[in-house]
Structure 1
Amino acid sequence: RRAAALSSSTGGLRRRGGLGPDEKRQLRTDHLDQALRLVRACATRGFDEGVSVDVLLNVDAKRTEERVRGRVLLPHGQGKTVRVAVFARGEKADQAREAGADVVGAEDLVEEVLKGRLDFERVLATPDTLPALARAARVLGPKGLMPNPKRGTVVTDIAEAIQRSKAGEVEFRAQLAGLVMVGVGKVSFGTKKLTDNLLAALDAVLSARPDRFRGKPPKRITISSAMGPGVDLDHTLW
């Protein structure tokens, strides 16, 4: 089925009708490379738009046993610099600095966060700093930055975690409606790099579903640039 989805054929393009004048133009195609060409062609706002894939899963995210979350290391990253803050002490703090962490600290960093410092996109922590870090939960939590073992952001191998964060590791989770959104790069990446990233993202999202849903196609897969129309892939091919 994937071979069909990756086909470079120009057939299979359809316009979804019935859209009002204020709605985005919606396109549909059976072929991934054609979908990405359409997305790139429609990105005409004069800046390098981000590209994302939305996957509507056939799960009920309200049920604990059907929640979907995970991480994926995109082969070509997301096309942006990720600033990483690390809560660590002693030798682990030294390792974090050597590995390229942008901000490193423990109690002192907690105080800075409480004062409003949030100049980072990802937060990692060693287990021993969690009691001190709890004070910053009310600030980091609403931003989705609070380290959590389930998210893979409470770590002992701090150097590897920093390298993965810098290299383009992305977290994802299904919203209550079962929708997962993953940024897969920039329009300037070109079709080949976007294809690699998108396939990695789709594999990770679909593999993160509970066992009884695996092998079943999702309800919808849509690719779009930040300001462009959505292009629906034939979800039955996945």
Structure 2
Amino acid sequence: MAKLTKKRKEAQAKIDANQAYSLKDASALVKEITNVNFDASIDLAVRLGVDPRKANQMVRGVVTLPHGTGKDVKVLALVTPDKEDEAKEAGADYVGLDEYLQKIKDGWTDVDVIITMPSVMGKLGPLGRVLGPRGLMPNPKTGTVTMDVAKAVAEVKAGKIDFKVEKSGIVHAGIAKASFDADKIAENASELINTLIKLKPTASKGIYIKSIYLSSTMSPGLNIDIKSV
């Protein structure tokens, strides 16, 4: 069994493992127990009472966090020449088409989000084996396949994230940075949780939100009292 580091022990000492914290208190405490020498990511893990293997219980969607993620999201806009200027003006980091398709074929995937147009999706199909496992394949359901490229780029840059329940029934998402005020962490977390609640599948029976944990990079997880959300 791995030995706890001194910082990990200090963090554990500040936590009551048997307590369910309010979202407000947990958002303040997660900052206290973050002991890394960089601006750690704040992550939310929500365990849902669904069976993702069944199509009618799949939960996926998008949410625009009110305070952004704190992360500089690198966006590639795969667009036709007539859309290049609006993609650049909206803040896309990389803009083009055939040259970037070739780069991806050659193994380049140094981006966080790819936004494209319906007419380009045919060219992206053969790249599914590269983009799919990395979560980079554009999808109309998440707003990354659209004719309004400028709007899509601007939303992603402003803090729009997409999420999908994993096979284990858990939704993981990075929702903030440790440098955020506790109130902003709580508001971002609340936005994602409430979005998940709205997406409850009708086929899901019994308890839908089973547990919620808030943590930062390398910190212990804080159990959130669901009633406080």
TM-score range, shorter chain: 0.7 to 0.9
Match for 2:215 among 209, 215, 224?
224
Q: How does 1:1-238 map to 2 (within 5 A)?
A: 25=12, 26=17, 28-211=19-202, 213=204, 216=207, 218-237=209-228
**Separation of aligned partners in 1, 2:125 and 2:111:** 18
The 3-state SS of whatever aligns with 1:156 is coil
1:155-179 deviations in Å (ceiling 9; x for gaps): 1110000000100111111111210
Q: Which segment is superposed worse, 219-228 or 109-118?
A: 109-118
User: Do the aligned partners of 2:57 and 2:203 also contact (CA within 8 Å) in 1?
Assistant: no
Q: Matches of 1:33 and 1:226 in 2, distance apart?
A: 19
Corresponding letter in the other structure for 1:83: K
Distance, in Å, in 2 between the alignment partners of 1:225 and 1:120 is 23
What SS does the corresponding residue of 1:200 show, helix, strand or coil?
A: helix
TM-score, structure 2 as length reference: 0.87
Q: Take 2:49 and 2:151, find their aligned partners in 1: how far apart are those partners? A: 34
> TM (normalized to structure 1)?
0.84
Deviation at residue 86 of structure 1 after TM alignment = 0.9
In structure 1, runs of 5+ residues without a counterpart are 1-19
Q: For 2:77, give the aligned amino acid.
A: V
Percent identity between the two aligned chains = 35
How far does residue 216 in structure 1 lie from its aligned partner after superposition? 5.0
Question: Which residue type is aligned with residue 166 of structure 2?
Answer: Q
Deviations 1:3-26 (A, max 9, x none): xxxxxxxxxxxxxxxxx976x854
The 2-side partners of 1:146 and 1:162 are apart by 15
**Aligned-partner residue type, residue 92 of structure 2:** A
User: Could you list the runs of 5+ residues in structure 2 that have no partner in the other structure?
Assistant: none
The 8 Å contact of residues 52 and 167 in structure 2, kept in 1 or not, is answered as yes
Letter in 2 for 1:207: K
The aligned length equals 219
The letter for the 2-side match of 1:153 is T
The answer on whether the counterparts of 2:115 and 2:145 sit within 8 Å (CA) in structure 1 is yes
- Give distance in 2, aligned partners of 1:214 and 1:48: 39
Q: Relative to structure 2, which stretch is displaced further, 144-153 or 170-179?
A: 144-153
Shift in alpha-carbon separation, 1:93–1:214, aligned structure 2, 3 A: farther
Deviation at 1:229, TM superposition (A): 0.8
Q: Which has the higher contact order (CA 8 A, sep 6+)?
A: 2
Closer, same or farther in 2 for the Cα pair 1:41/1:27, shift >3 Å? Answer: farther
Is contact 1:27-1:231 (8 Å) kept?
no
